A and B are shown apart, each in its own frame.
Chain A
Amino acid sequence: MIRLPGDNSEPGKVRSALLALLVHAVFLALLVFGLNWKNEASEAMSVDLWADLPRHSGKTLPPVERAAPKPEPVKPQPQSQPRSQQKPQSQPQPVIKVAPPPARKPDIALKDKAEKPQPEEEVKKPEPVKKEVPKEKEKPVRKPAEKPVLREEARKPEPKVEPKPEPVKKEAPKTEPVKKVEQKIENKDDARQKADAQKQAQQQASEAAAAQAKANGEIDKYKAMIQAKIRSRIIMPPDLPGDPFVEFSVTLLPGGDVLAVTLRKSSGYTVFDEAVERAIYLAKPLPLPPDSGLFNAFRNLDLKVYYRE
């Protein structure tokens, strides 16, 4: 007879199990979706932060696109045809040499202006050399190393032709140097990045040093303030001989509360010791720097108080 009622509720078992599963699935979904909202919000915030990084890649990408069109305007067409795609990398240096002859001073002036923001040391070095040494001597010396003879021949006529139009076409030389500068940028991107990194490291180091110095100054300032505040609360016992001093070790809480005061070195006069101890408690909250990072310097404070100031 006992089994019979069991038969009765048998169909309910499976149904109940399914319903129980359903309830838990709903609960789980609630939890998961409830927390997912927060996740999405934080992702949106992280997008803002990522915006810093792409700038570097954005700088390097466009120059690559410019690299292709540049060689054509700078040099005669015959030259651009024989060149392979690899040239743009090696070209920039010959290009630099070609351009300066037609208009030395304007070029250099422009380059200097353009290069000031950029930390390129290598780029500037070749320029002074160009100013001193005649143009034609430079080319033969340097080009052979990098490029075939064809180009040299093609370039030599150029400088001769260009000097004449120089006064007439002021715009051409101006635009060229800009492009050259850009090309240099591409080539020396690595160098620049290294230089950037170095600069950043230096900056960080100097900033850290400055911050350290500033922090130390801050700490000293506030220690003096604490000292002064405690001193102002001391009710000095009258007529002690000499200039006794007492040393206390004060444990502080963030916020300036005094957690514990322990006597490290007695002055020999209990009255004076007690007066100072009372004053330390009276002086709380002690002044602390607003920057909570500096609190560690104040956690255990050694205090030395003289009877006479």
Chain B
Amino acid sequence: MSKAITQDLSFFHLVGSASLPVQLVMLLLLLASFVSWWFIFRKLFTLRQEIKQTDEFEGIFWRGSDLNALYQRAANARHAVGSMERIFEAGFREFTKYQSGVDIGPIMDSTRGAMRAVYQREMDRLESHLSFLATVGSVSPYVGLFGTVWGIMNAFRELSNVGQATIAHVAPGIAEALIATAMGLFAAIPAVIAYNRYASDTAQLATRYESFIEEVSNVLQRRVAKPRDTANFS
């Protein structure tokens, strides 16, 4: 009698007494949860930094600074600059290579191409690990559910061996099995929230970069046209 009541329902005891598949599921979920939280924090820091740097650079750029000075600054401090600055740097480098008076079409094409390439690479970097978060968010509830179903199956199978069934016979098994679901949800919920948040942040950054590329090409195009006009006139 006292045994049934004092049955150890502590968390560790439940986990320890779970069957092997359930324990494996829990381990997997713990791992997934840990890695996804790791990515969540990493992405948080990266995206925050990225947005800050982009804001800063946009501010400097549109304040009408000298493009050459900006390029020098970006080229000197590559490690500490944001994606937008890197895009600008690649485009401007490509642009300066041509300035010997070729036709404006190819210059702008290759400039834009260089900027596109860097843009793609930067976007790739920003979006890395997001797919992992999405996977954890969508799959870990099912994995947890699998562990739970397995545990409950076992609990009921054991129940069938007991002549008189009481809730006390199944309760520990079900409690133990439900831990798997809890862990799955614990891994999934933050992952889904973070994925949605970071996906929208990344998409915002992407549109900013794209419009920036267009604007920079326009600025550079004007720069090409101007000297030529003056050269023609003079």
Q: Chain A: residues with CB nearer than 8 A to chain B? A: 1-2, 4-5, 7-9, 12-13, 15-17, 19-21, 23-24, 27-28, 31-32, 35-36, 38-39, 42-43, 45-46, 49-50, 293
Are B79 and A12 in contact, with the CB atoms below 8 A? no
Additional 19 contacts, C-beta under 8 A, given A2-B125, A32-B10: A1-B121, A2-B121, A4-B79, A12-B42, A16-B42, A16-B45, A19-B37, A19-B41, A20-B41, A23-B37, A24-B34, A28-B11, A31-B182, A35-B9, A38-B9, A39-B9, A42-B7, A43-B6, A293-B164
Number of interchain pairs (Cβ within 8 Å):
83
Chain A residues with CB under 8 Å of B33's CB are 24
* Residue from the list B2, B5, B38 in contact with A17, Cβ < 8 A: B38
0 or 1 for each of B12-55: is its CB under 8 Å from A? (1 = yes)? 10100000000000000010011001111110111001000000
State the 5 A-B residue pairs at the shortest beta-carbon distance, nearest first: A16-B41, A20-B37, A12-B45, A16-B42, A20-B38
Chain B residues with CB under 8 Å of A43's CB are 6
Asked whether B122 is an interface residue with its Cβ less than 8 Å from the other chain, the reply is yes
Chain A residues with CB under 8 Å of B41's CB are 12, 15-17, 19-20
Interface of B is mostly: helix
A45: nearest residue on chain B (CB-CB)?
B5
Q: Give CA–CA (A217, B7) in the complex, Å.
A: 37
A36: nearest residue on chain B (CB-CB)?
B10
B14: nearest residue on chain A (CB-CB)?
A35
Are B5 and A20 in contact, with the CB atoms below 8 A? no
B: interface residue count bin: 35 or more
Given contacts A42-B9, A46-B2, A293-B164, contact A16 B121 (CB under 8 A): no
Asked whether B186 is an interface residue with its Cβ less than 8 Å from the other chain, the reply is yes
Q: Give CA–CA (A7, B186) in the complex, Å.
A: 31
B36: nearest residue on chain A (CB-CB)?
A20
Q: Give CA–CA (A31, B11) in the complex, Å.
A: 7
Asked whether B1 is an interface residue with its Cβ less than 8 Å from the other chain, the reply is yes
Asked whether B158 is an interface residue with its Cβ less than 8 Å from the other chain, the reply is no
Asked whether B86 is an interface residue with its Cβ less than 8 Å from the other chain, the reply is yes
Chain B contacts with A in 144-180, Cβ cutoff 8 A: 164, 179
What are 10 pairs between A and B in contact, CB < 8 Å?
A: A1-B118, A9-B45, A12-B42, A16-B41, A20-B37, A21-B34, A24-B33, A28-B11, A35-B11, A42-B9
Are B34 and A20 in contact, with the CB atoms below 8 A? yes
Are B49 and A8 in contact, with the CB atoms below 8 A? yes
A33: nearest residue on chain B (CB-CB)?
B11
Chain A residues with CB under 8 Å of B201's CB are none
Interface centre among A1, A15, A49, A50 (most CB of B within 10 A): A1
Chain A residues with CB under 8 Å of B197's CB are none
Are A49 and B10 in contact, with the CB atoms below 8 A? no
Are B9 and A15 in contact, with the CB atoms below 8 A? no
Q: Give CA–CA (A9, B9) in the complex, Å.
A: 43
Q: Give CA–CA (A21, B35) in the complex, Å.
A: 10
Interface centre among A13, A42, A45 (most CB of B within 10 A): A42
* Residue from the list A16, A35, A36, A46 in contact with B38, Cβ < 8 A: A16
A49: nearest residue on chain B (CB-CB)?
B2
Q: Give CA–CA (A5, B64) in the complex, Å.
A: 27
Q: Give CA–CA (A49, B1) in the complex, Å.
A: 9
Write the nearest CB–CB distance from A66 to chain B, whole angstroms: 32
* Residue from the list B2, B7, B8, B182 in contact with A50, Cβ < 8 A: B2
Write the nearest CB–CB distance from B176 to chain A, whole angstroms: 11
Chain A residues with CB under 8 Å of B8's CB are 39
Asked whether B73 is an interface residue with its Cβ less than 8 Å from the other chain, the reply is no
Q: Give CA–CA (A43, B86) in the complex, Å.
A: 65
Chain A residues with CB under 8 Å of B1's CB are 49
Q: Give CA–CA (A36, B182) in the complex, Å.
A: 17
Asked whether B222 is an interface residue with its Cβ less than 8 Å from the other chain, the reply is no
Q: Give CA–CA (A133, B14) in the complex, Å.
A: 71
Chain B residues with CB under 8 Å of A28's CB are 11
Write the nearest CB–CB distance from A55 to chain B, whole angstroms: 16
Q: Give CA–CA (A75, B37) in the complex, Å.
A: 84
Chain B residues with CB under 8 Å of A4's CB are 78-79
Chain B contacts with A in 73-132, Cβ cutoff 8 A: 78-80, 83, 86, 118, 121-122, 125
Are B79 and A7 in contact, with the CB atoms below 8 A? yes
Given contacts A20-B41, A23-B37, contact A5 B10 (CB under 8 A): no
Write the nearest CB–CB distance from A53 to chain B, whole angstroms: 10
Are A46 and B6 in contact, with the CB atoms below 8 A? yes
A7: nearest residue on chain B (CB-CB)?
B79
